[in-house]
């Protein structure tokens, strides 16, 4: 490095105009050094390099316009405003100001030439610019810039203008020292873009740069940085994994006799895969560092049983176990399963969900605190501060794709605070029925060990899946009637594009009453997210008990619900859902020994991609094959669940868009050319705003 310190070591106060006070404000943007500022990348760009003819303006476009004032009038619409008519040689346009002074109004004298910048919107008077920046064109008009203008993420106390001028200063220092951390020959040839050049380009793209390409993140400068950013995230997860193994956990050797009693009471024996996975878990639990294991297994593979066996191990070693489920319905189902299995063995089970009545909640909390309940089932309400465990040493998280990395860390911290002793961390078992393709798993869950239940319990009937057009709804209703006549039960799942529980509930209600009208003698019930928990429970119980023939539901039944006599599932508008979710839904049937059917009642017209996805679902019954297909058709967002991806905030990279870079990322991460020091610097450079990833 020529001449002194690198920019990673140069404090932001080295820039002109940045004192301690302003440095604190910048700290809120996680900018402490000049390098941090350079990695604070624009969200988007404005093109002020060229004047746009009025005729070429379209709504939503940000543009520089120059024209002559034709009129300036105060108008009284819903709100008083100043309306200025501007004309160039291609057309006219209105500027609208809601706040203005008399002096401002007088500036807009007829015939004056104005240059303005703003976003075009459709207004009462045709295209309008609301509160544009304006400037009178004359002798002192500022030059138009020759680069695109960056728009940065801001915080209170920092303006765009100020940030831009700081970045200009930082760019001038660029040559002296942003360290190229990636070994050039590790980069694919298309991405050998020098780091300094990439930063320069992204902060100040030249006039004429392809804004569309940049908005899509496809410019090589962006891809080069995206690769580095993904690598930094990957390394931080590897670091996280390494730090787990440095933390102490209570070894739980367990006692096989409890397990033997338990297995002896089961009406079936474990599958080979369940046995193998149980052994992997048991070996982890004996260690004095926390288990961090992801258990993947297709819908119906029998994960709950594996969880119960893990819990038994831990409890026989005297520890307390928490089981966390993503929904109340599922928590309730787990409570019931675990009570049924464990109470005969004399083990107390408590339940903590958000909907418990105050008195009941107190009772359950007391049981947890005293240790009278050795197993606690709940929803994320288990995180709450008033829950204190006696000696929590194993945390089991079901359907992980519904929870994010942050919650995973939170529960771990909670365990450490309440656990066996303040300094010990509980073991964690994370279960998911969403099979995660290997590349993605290696990146998104690089901090976990993986076990896979790759075998279904014997005697499962394959689910026969058919796709039928919504125009033939009548025939589908006949099928429901037929199934009910044979004493089978069925689900009818309503989907909506909007993620609104209220709208979903309404749609399901409408469908339920339509079906009730059309289907004679079929006992119909309705379950959706807006029902009170005890109401939900009542409906689910009635369905389980066979008192309801057809359950009309929203996708709340997606995860985990287990009713073996239900052998027919209708999914309305399946094209609205992701493949993984559909596969989960479909897994609600085919759980007993009766042949099961899933009818995909699609809306027309069906897009080509929609058709391909339904086809994939009909062809494959294996969740992994479906997940691979999903990755190909929809990208990783679907597979990891939106919450998961939503929470990993990248600056340049987009896990979905840039999934093709992941194999490179893994290759580079494994390369010997990345020294300890380089790893540390990469993580610091990209993740300084997420210390919990790096430190946890």
Cα–Cα distance measured from residue 72 to residue 135, given in angstroms and rounded to the nearest whole number: 15
Q: Residue 377 in contact with residue 325, Cβ under 8 Å?
A: yes
Residue 326, interface with Mg ion (CB under 5 A)? no
632: phi then psi, degrees, rounded to nearest 5: -70, -40
Task: Give the three-class secondary structure for 293.
Answer: strand
Q: How far is the CB of 564 from ligand ADP (least distance, A)?
A: 6
Q: Using alpha carbons only, what angle is made at residue 147 by residues 144 and 153, rounded to the nearest 5 degrees? A: 110
Handedness of CA 104, 110, 113, 118 (dihedral sign): positive
Alpha-carbon distance values, 477 to 464, 474, 484, 589, 599 (Å): 17, 5, 11, 18, 11
Q: Residue 415 in contact with residue 382, Cβ under 8 Å?
A: no
Q: Which stretch in 111-119, 222-230, 298-306, 650-658 sits in contact with ligand ADP by CB under 6 A?
A: 298-306
Cα–Cα distance measured from residue 202 to residue 200, given in angstroms and rounded to the nearest whole number: 6
| Residue 42 or 560 with smaller CB distance to Mg ion | 560
Site string for Mg ion, 555-594 (x = CB under 5 A): -----x----------------------------------
Q: How far is the CB of 307 from ligand ADP (least distance, A)?
A: 8
Q: Which stretch in 244-252, 302-310, 403-411, 652-660 sits in contact with ligand ADP by CB under 6 A?
A: 302-310
Cα–Cα distance measured from residue 356 to residue 382, given in angstroms and rounded to the nearest whole number: 12
| The binder of ligand ADP chosen from 274, 327, 353, 425 (CB under 6 A) | 274
Q: How far is the CB of 592 from ligand ADP (least distance, A)?
A: 8
Which one, of 225, 282, 215, lies nearest residue 251 by Cα?
Answer: 282
| Residue 566 or 653 with smaller CB distance to Mg ion | 566
What CA dihedral angle connects 546, 551, 555 and 556, to 10 degrees?
Answer: -50
Write the DSSP symbol of residue 237: H
Q: How far is the CB of 295 from ligand ADP (least distance, A)?
A: 9
Residue 301, interface with ligand ADP (CB under 6 A)? yes
Task: Give the three-class secondary structure for 62.
Answer: strand
| Residue 66 or 454 with smaller CB distance to ligand ADP | 454
| Residue 414 or 591 with smaller CB distance to ligand ADP | 591
| Residue 290 or 302 with smaller CB distance to ligand ADP | 302
Q: How far is the CB of 435 from ligand ADP (least distance, A)?
A: 11
Q: What is the 3-state secondary structure (H, E, C) of 142-197?
A: CCCCCECEEECCCCCCCCHHHHHHHHHHHHHCHHHCCCCCCCHHHCCHHHCCCHHH
Handedness of CA 687, 688, 694, 696 (dihedral sign): negative
Residue 562, interface with ligand ADP (CB under 6 A)? yes
Please list every residue from 419 through 478 that binds ligand ADP, using CB under 6 A: 433, 457
Q: Which stretch in 269-277, 413-421, 491-499, 541-549 sits in contact with ligand ADP by CB under 6 A?
A: 269-277
| Residue 305 or 550 with smaller CB distance to ligand ADP | 305
Q: Binders of Mg ion: how many residues, by CB under 5 A?
A: 1
Q: Residue 524 in contact with residue 550, Cβ under 8 Å?
A: yes
Residue 334, interface with ligand ADP (CB under 6 A)? no
Q: Binders of ligand ADP: how many residues, by CB under 6 A?
A: 17
Question: Cis (ω within 30 of 0) for the bond into 131?
Answer: no
Cα–Cα distance measured from residue 525 to residue 509, given in angstroms and rounded to the nearest whole number: 10
Cα–Cα distance measured from residue 93 to residue 693, given in angstroms and rounded to the nearest whole number: 50
Q: How far is the CB of 562 from ligand ADP (least distance, A)?
A: 5
Q: How far is the CB of 542 from ligand ADP (least distance, A)?
A: 19
User: Which pair of tokens denotes residue 322?
Assistant: 């928490």
Q: How far is the CB of 302 from ligand ADP (least distance, A)?
A: 3
Q: Which of ligand ADP, Mg ion, none interacts with 240 (beta carbon under 5 to 8 A by kind)?
A: none
Q: Which of ligand ADP, Mg ion, none interacts with 408 (beta carbon under 5 to 8 A by kind)?
A: none
What CA dihedral angle connects 259, 262, 265 and 270, to 10 degrees?
Answer: -60
Q: How far is the CB of 303 from Mg ion (least distance, A)?
A: 5
Cα–Cα distance measured from residue 87 to residue 54, given in angstroms and rounded to the nearest whole number: 8
Residues belonging to the chain: 696
| Residue 321 or 515 with smaller CB distance to ligand ADP | 321
Q: How far is the CB of 305 from ligand ADP (least distance, A)?
A: 5
Q: How far is the CB of 484 from ligand ADP (least distance, A)?
A: 22
| Residue 304 or 374 with smaller CB distance to Mg ion | 304
Q: Which stretch in 2-10, 469-477, 552-560, 684-692 sits in contact with Mg ion by CB under 5 A?
A: 552-560
What stretches of 204-338 adopt beta strand conformation (E)? 292-297, 320-324
Task: Give the three-class secondary structure for 431.
Answer: strand
H or E element, residue 428: strand 427-432
Q: Which of ligand ADP, Mg ion, none interacts with 641 (beta carbon under 5 to 8 A by kind)?
A: none
Q: Which of ligand ADP, Mg ion, none interacts with 236 (beta carbon under 5 to 8 A by kind)?
A: none
| Residue 177 or 302 with smaller CB distance to ligand ADP | 302
Alpha-carbon distance values, 299 to 407, 455, 590, 621 (Å): 23, 11, 10, 10
Q: How far is the CB of 307 from Mg ion (least distance, A)?
A: 8
Residue 563, interface with ligand ADP (CB under 6 A)? no
Q: Residue 144 in contact with residue 150, Cβ under 8 Å?
A: no
Q: How far is the CB of 270 from Mg ion (least distance, A)?
A: 16
81 forms bridges with which residues in the sheet? 75
Q: How far is the CB of 277 from ligand ADP (least distance, A)?
A: 11
Nearest residue to ligand ADP by CB is 302
Residue 299, interface with ligand ADP (CB under 6 A)? yes
Residue 569, interface with ligand ADP (CB under 6 A)? no
| The binder of ligand ADP chosen from 250, 297, 437, 529 (CB under 6 A) | 297
Task: Give the three-class secondary structure for 601.
Answer: strand
Handedness of CA 646, 651, 652, 658 (dihedral sign): negative
Q: Which stretch in 115-123, 233-241, 554-562, 618-626 sits in contact with Mg ion by CB under 5 A?
A: 554-562
Please list every residue from 205 through 264 that binds ligand ADP, using CB under 6 A: none
- List residues near ligand ADP by CB under 6 A: 268, 270-271, 274, 297, 299-305, 433, 457, 560, 562, 591
- List residues near Mg ion by CB under 5 A: 560
């Amino acid at each position: 490095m020529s001449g002194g310190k690198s920019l990673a070591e140069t404090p932001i106060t080295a820039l002109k105009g940045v004192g301690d006070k302003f440095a604190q404000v910048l700290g809120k943007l996680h900018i402490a050094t000049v390098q941090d500022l350079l990695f604070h990348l624009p969200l988007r760009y404005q093109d002020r390099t060229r004047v746009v003819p009025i005729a070429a303006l379209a709504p939503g476009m940000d543009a520089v316009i120059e024209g002559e004032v034709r009129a300036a009038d105060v108008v009284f619409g819903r709100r008083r405003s100043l309306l200025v008519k501007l004309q160039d040689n291609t057309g006219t346009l209105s500027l609208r100001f809601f706040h203005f002074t008399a002096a401002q109004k007088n500036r807009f004298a007829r015939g004056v030439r104005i240059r303005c910048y703003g976003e075009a919107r459709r207004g009462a008077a045709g295209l309008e610019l609301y509160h544009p920046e304006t400037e009178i064109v004359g002798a002192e008009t500022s030059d138009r810039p020759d680069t695109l203008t960056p728009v940065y993420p801001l915080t209170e106390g920092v303006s765009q203008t100020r940030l831009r001028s700081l970045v200009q200063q930082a760019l001038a220092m660029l040559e002296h020292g942003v360290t190229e951390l990636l070994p050039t020959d590790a980069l694919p040839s298309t991405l050998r873009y020098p780091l300094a050049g990439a930063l320069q380009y992204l902060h100040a793209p030249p006039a004429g740069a392809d804004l569309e390409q940049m908005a899509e993140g496809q410019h090589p400068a962006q891809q080069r940085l995206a690769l580095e950013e993904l690598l930094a995230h990957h390394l931080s997860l590897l670091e996280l994994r390494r730090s787990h193994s440095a933390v102490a956990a209570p070894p739980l050797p367990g006692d096989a006799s409890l397990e033997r009693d338990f297995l002896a009471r089961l009406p079936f024996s474990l599958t080979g895969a369940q046995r193998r996975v149980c052994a992997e878990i048991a070996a982890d639990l004996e260690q004095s560092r926390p288990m961090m294991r992801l258990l993947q297994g297709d819908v119906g593979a029998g994960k709950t049983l594996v969880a119960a066996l893990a819990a038994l191990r831990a409890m026989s070693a005297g520890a307390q176990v928490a089981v966390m489920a993503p929904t109340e319905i599922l928590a309730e189902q787990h409570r019931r399963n675990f009570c049924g299995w464990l109470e005969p063995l004399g083990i107390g089970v408590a339940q903590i969900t958000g909907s418990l009545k105050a008195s009941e909640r107190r009772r359950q909390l007391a049981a947890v605190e005293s240790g009278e309940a050795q197993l606690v089932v709940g929803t994320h309400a288990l995180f709450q501060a008033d829950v204190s465990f006696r000696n929590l040493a194993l945390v089991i998280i079901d359907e992980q794709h519904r929870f994010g990395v942050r919650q995973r860390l939170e529960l771990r911290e909670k365990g450490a605070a309440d656990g066996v002793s303040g300094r010990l961390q509980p073991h964690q078992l994370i279960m998911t029925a969403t099979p995660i393709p290997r590349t993605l798993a290696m990146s998104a869950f690089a901090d976990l060990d993986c076990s896979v239940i790759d075998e279904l319990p014997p005697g499962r009937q394959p689910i026969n899946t058919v796709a039928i057009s919504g125009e033939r709804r009548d025939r589908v209703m006949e099928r429901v009637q037929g199934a009910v006549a044979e004493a089978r039960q069925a689900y009818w799942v309503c989907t909506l594009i909007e993620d609104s529980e209220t709208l979903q509930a309404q749609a399901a209600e409408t469908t339920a009453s339509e079906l009730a009208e059309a289907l004679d003698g079929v006992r119909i019930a309705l379950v959706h997210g807006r029902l009170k928990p005890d109401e939900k429970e009542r409906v689910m119980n009635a369905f389980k008990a066979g008192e309801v023939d057809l359950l009309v539901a929203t996708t709340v039944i997606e995860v985990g619900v287990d009713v073996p006599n239900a052998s027919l599932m209708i999914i309305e508008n399946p094209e609205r859902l992701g493949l993984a979710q559909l596969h989960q839904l479909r897994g609600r049937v085919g759980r007993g020994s009766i042949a099961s059917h899933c009818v995909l009642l699609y809306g027309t017209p069906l897009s080509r991609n929609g058709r391909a996805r339904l086809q994939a679902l009909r062809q494959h019954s294996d969740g992994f094959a479906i997940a691979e297909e999903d990755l190909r058709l929809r990208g990783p967002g679907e597979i990891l669940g939106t919450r998961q991806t939503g929470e990993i905030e990248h600056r340049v990279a987009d896990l979905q868009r840039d999934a093709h870079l992941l194999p490179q990322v893994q290759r580079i991460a494994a390369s010997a050319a990345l020294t300890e020091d380089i790893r540390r610097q990469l993580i610091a450079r990209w993740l300084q705003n997420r210390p919990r990833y790096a430190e946890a």
